[in-house]
Structure 1
Amino acid sequence: MTVLAPQTRSAATSSRQAWRLLVSLLGLVGALVLTWANAGLAAAADAAPIAVPSGVRSELIGRWDIDTLNRILTVDSPKYFGISVPYTPARNAVRLYRITYASVVPEQNNRPIVATGLLAVPDTGASSLPILSYQHGSAFLKTQVPSFPDQSGETQLIVAQFAGQGYVVIGADYFGMGASTEPEAFGVMASQQQASLDMLRASEAVLAQMQIATGKLFLGGWSLGGFVTMAFLERLEKDGVKVSGAATASGPADVFSLLSGFLDFPRKNDAASTNLLYILSAFSFETYYGLPGLARSFFTDEYYDIAKRAYERQPYDFNDIPTDLTKLIRPDYFDPDFFASSAYGRIAFATQAYRWIIKTPVHNYYGEADEVVSVGLARLAMNYQQGIGGGNDKVEAISTGPTDHRGTFATAVALWKNWFDRL
């Protein structure tokens, strides 16, 4: 932190007071917006589904043969995730389609939006197939998402393990990602639910045209996608859609707990890339909840511009973003009470996906050396559900051993497959 010369301290004090006033005003506006946001989250879950237009567009973008899929399982994924896992070998080729579909932004009064995603269809000739909706993790680039599978290591693994074994695999890119020209909606829960729901509908429409019926529906997600999976499950259950099983890997069910943890109770093994969680979420909250100035009030003046470039996916050097969060984020946010009462903190507090009576069997896999999601946070949904009266046993948290963030996902995927096959 820079030490100010005596002649600059008075001006700095006035500037700091003005900044605090701005944050206070944002907090007041945030309270109003959060009231609306909470209503928006609930409304998005409870409102009658909005029909996807019949003009859903599908584009064949590739076909992966059995050798390609098995190379992903035995060579590419172990190299990418840093761990070797005994996956079930692929037994069929897979056709890959980029789906473009219409959706709406619940936080913005159901503003129409166009989104993209991946549909991976087993090349078996079968007339009925189970379907896995995969919710992807955080992405550094707009194209490190399902509908650009060549650029997404996690998507490649899911396609190889599941679509190569006869499951239809779908994956929404989320708003602002993939081929979208919109800003990213990172951690914006109702929008991520809506993007996933309308991707499911669009995929079912395309499959119907292919004369393929869908059987059991499964959900899976890693990291951010683990949170989205839980949020999507809540939406589907409220809409009366049967889900046979849902699984996550390193999934934080409570975004406030995740973000507060790095500020208030940092661990020695916290990932350096956690700085991007704050960057993507702060600008997404500002954009989608309509709070101009939120991000500027959150980041220090020195690093605001590069943070904005990172969010907008403009050219920047990742090494120029400090891994020391005290340099990136304004000091007041390290006060837990200030953080909780800020507009940013209030929205984060509302962004949770475990406080409802879960009816679907859920497995939350976690790693004991995970540098992003702590063991306590990974077990939160299970502990909460078991703490309801006599206990709801639908959610089970399962350790993958001393695995890190990537290793937890790579290990869990094989466990998902074995479990889903038995359901």
Structure 2
Amino acid sequence: MVTPKSILSLLLISSMLFLVPTSCKQSNGSDPITPAPARVLTKSTLLGTFTPEQLRSRYTGSSQLLQAFIKFGVSVYRLEYTTTNTDGKSITASGAVVVPTTTNATPMLSLQHGTIIGDSEAPSNFSSSSEVYTFGTLFASQGYVISAPDYIGYGASKDILHTYEHRKGLATASLDMIRATRDFLSDKSINWNKRLFIAGYSEGGYATLALQKKIEEETGSEFNLVASSCGAGAYDKPAFMKQIINGTTSGVASINRLYVWVLLTYDRLYGLNRPVSYYFKEPYATQIATQVAANSLDININVSLNQTFTDTFKKGVIDGTDNAFLAAVQDNDIHDWKPKTPLRLYHGDADDTVFFLNSQNAYDAMKKQGAANVQLITIPGGNHASSILPYISGTYDFFSSIQ
């Protein structure tokens, strides 16, 4: 018998969602609750309307059973909205909204995407390689309004460097995209039941947990956040960072470039502005600096990354004297707080990209804080790619049980 869960089990085979992996001063309190802006949406553009038959026609051959998952047709829109950049200045950002073709009152699902390498994969471009095209559209066809932020650095803000693995940048852009979606639904008189779900894997998992924290601590009663599903995110930034700097990692070039990307992002956003040679030895420093100058991170480092760092940098981290860098890392830590909304943390215990310690440490810290609604779903033997399928299926079941 074909079930929604068995259909979702084919989703990874047919589309390999979230395939690009991610790496990685938490405040002891929270930022003050501020009034919601009256309106953030500035523009909406219809990208396409698809009937159930058109959606089903995408799936043939080995993915044909996915046709049974399609219930409603969908309409896809590109939104532009006002948000706040990491420098505190107003900026125009964008994202995609997928609306099921139904008059029923439907919940909203904010879908934070994982690491993407190029703007073509941004949700608002709605390419066949984007998560919103596959995962998002299938969930929309089941009766969710999908809100999918591009984040700063893609879509309308593509001329600005992406805020990679930056807590505030990701959470702020995602929250304001939800607000823009709310504005859009009101403009179009679309029947939203005011229930909000949030989900994401990899960088999207980190962005989702940062978004949950921001909603719970800063928005008061603005939203009815029902559930949060986070997969394989780098939540414990200090522990993860120290493991990368001091321990042996996979040495896979495609993974190393993600770790380098995070480091350079923090160096930039926190005004450290150090030369690459402060962090990396030769010949790695020259290779990285050349790529950065070319606005690229096509870095081919195929050794354990701890072998590439300078002794000065490692010593400053180990003995705690590199206060500026350590403060930047700490400011992006989100593992130790008390969530109120039901939360599931999915993670493969053999993940060599975003280490399992991130979810284990988050779960342990949250339970110690007294969180009653958090669950750690360990995927035995799962790596960063193979754990995607259990995450998708588990998220579907989790949200459906609450629906």
TM-score range, shorter chain: 0.7 to 0.9
Task: Decide which of 119, 131, 150 is 2:127's aligned counterpart.
Answer: 150
CA distance in 1, matches of 2:73, 2:53: 9
Query: Secondary structure of 1:231's match?
Result: helix
Q: State how 1:359-370 maps to structure 2 within 5 Å.
A: 359-370=340-351
Deviation at 1:340, TM superposition (A): 7.1
**Quick one: structure 1 residues 311 and 198, their matched pair in 2 at CA, closer, same or farther if it must change by over 3 Å?**
farther
Alpha-carbon distance, 1:134 to partner: 1.0
Contact 2:346–2:359 under 8 Å retained in 1: yes
| 84-93 vs 162-171, greater mean Cα deviation | 84-93
Q: Give the equivalent residue in structure 2 for 1:372.
A: 353
Q: Report what 2:117 is aligned to.
A: 140
Q: 1:104 aligns with which of 70, 84, 104?
A: 84
Tell me how far apart the structure 2 counterparts of residues 310 and 249 of structure 1 sit (CA, whole Å): 30
For 1:116, what is the secondary structure of its paired residue?
Answer: strand
Q: Which residue of 2 aligns with 1:265?
A: 247
CA distance, structure 2, for counterparts of residue 419 and residue 281 of structure 1 = 31
Partners of 1:236 and 1:103 in 2: CA distance: 15
The 5-angstrom pairing of residues 20-31 of structure 1 reads: none
Whether 2:239 is the aligned partner of 1:253: answer no
1:47–1:141 Cα change, 3 Å? same
Deviation at 1:354, TM superposition (A): 2.9
The Cα of 1:169 is off from its aligned counterpart by: 0.8
Q: 2:337 aligns with which of 356, 361, 373?
A: 356
Q: Residues 128 and 398 of structure 1: is their aligned pair in 2 closer, same or farther, counting only changes over 3 Å? A: same
Pair 1:51-2:37 in alignment: yes
Q: Which moved more, 1:200-209 or 1:283-292?
A: 283-292
Following the alignment from structure 1 to structure 2, what is the Cα–Cα distance between the partners of residues 419 and 196? 21
Change (3 A) 1:223 1:315: closer
- 2-side partners of 1:277 and 1:263: how far apart? 14
Contact 1:332 1:339 in 2 (8 A): no
In structure 2, C-alpha distance between the alignment counterparts of 1:171 and 1:182, rounded to whole Å: 19
Matched residue type, 1:147: S
User: Residue 225 of structure 2: SS of its match in structure 1?
Assistant: coil
1:297 aligns with 2:278: yes
The equivalent position to 1:392 in structure 2, one of 345, 352, 371, is 371
The answer on 1:224 being equivalent to 2:203 is yes
Partners of 1:310 and 1:68 in 2: how far apart? 42
CA distance in 2, matches of 1:217, 1:166: 13
Whole-Å Cα distance in 1 between the matches of residues 40 and 244 of structure 2? 45
Flag the 1:344–1:90 CA change in 2: closer, same or farther, 3 A. farther
Contact 2:108-2:145 within 8 A present in 1 as well: yes
Question: Higher helix proportion, which one?
Answer: 1
For the structure 1 residues 60 and 312, does the alpha-carbon distance in structure 2 shift closer, same or farther, using more than 3 Å as the test? farther
Partner residue of 2:3? none
The residue that corresponds to 1:129 in the other structure is 106
Could you say if the C-alpha distance between residues 345 and 54 of structure 1 is closer, same or farther in structure 2, counting changes exceeding 3 Å?
A: closer
Tell me the CA shift for residue 136 of structure 1.
Answer: 1.2
Offset of residue 303 of structure 1: 3.8
The two structures have a TM-score, normalised by structure 2, of 0.81
Structure 1 range deviating more: 55-64 or 129-138:
55-64
Alignment partner, residue 191 of structure 1: 169
Q: Structure 1's 145 and 165: CA in aligned 2 closer, same or farther, altered over 3 A?
A: same
SS at match of 2:385: helix
Structure 1 runs not aligned, ≥5 long:
1-36, 79-83
Q: Which sits farther off after the overlay, 47-56 or 197-206?
A: 47-56
Taking a change above 3 Å as real, the CA distance of residues 221 and 64 of structure 1, as seen in their structure-2 partners, is: same
Identity %: 23
Deviations 1:321-380 (A, max 9, x none): 445424643343444415773533321122122322211100111113322122332222
- In structure 2, C-alpha distance between the alignment counterparts of 1:350 and 1:377, rounded to whole Å: 16
Q: What amino acid is the match of 2:170?
A: Q
1:85: how far off? 11
Deviation at 1:315? Answer: 5.6
Paired with 1:421 and 1:322, the residues of 2 have a C-alpha distance of 42
- Structure 1 residues 310 and 166: CA distance shift in structure 2, 3 A: farther
2:394 is equivalent to residue 408 of structure 1: no
Provide the C-alpha distance between the structure 2 equivalents of 1:231 and 1:278, rounded to a whole number of angstroms: 19
The 5 A counterparts of 1:3-22 are: none
- Residue 147 of structure 1 aligns to a residue whose secondary structure is helix
Secondary structure of residue in 2 paired with 1:378? helix
Structure-1 separation of matches of 2:72 and 2:307 = 51
Listed one character per residue, the Cα deviations across residues 235-294 of structure 1 (whole Å, up to 9, x for unaligned) are 101112331000011122112222322232335x57542322333223322332223226
Tell me the equivalent position of 2:318.
Answer: 337
Instruction: State the partner residue of 2:6.
Output: none
Please say if residues 73 and 161 of structure 1, whose CA atoms lie closer than 8 Å, have aligned partners that are also in contact: no
Q: Alignment partner for residue 208 of structure 1, among 182, 186, 190?
A: 186
| 1-structure distance, mates of 2:347, 2:255 | 18
Structure number with greater Rg is 1
Q: Which residue type is aligned with residue 396 of structure 2?
A: K
Match of 2:400 in 1: 421
**Is structure 2 residue 151 aligned with structure 1 residue 174?**
yes
Aligned to 1:286: 267
Q: 1:402 to 1:54 in 2, by over 3 A?
A: closer
- Match for 2:133: what amino acid? Q
Distance 1:38 1:377 in 2: 15
Preserved CA contact (<8 Å) 2:234 2:240: yes
The structure-2 alpha-carbon separation of the partners of 1:202 and 1:296, relative to structure 1 and needing over 3 Å to count, comes to farther
Q: Is the 8 A contact 2:257 2:300 kept in 1?
A: no
SS at 1:256 equivalent: helix
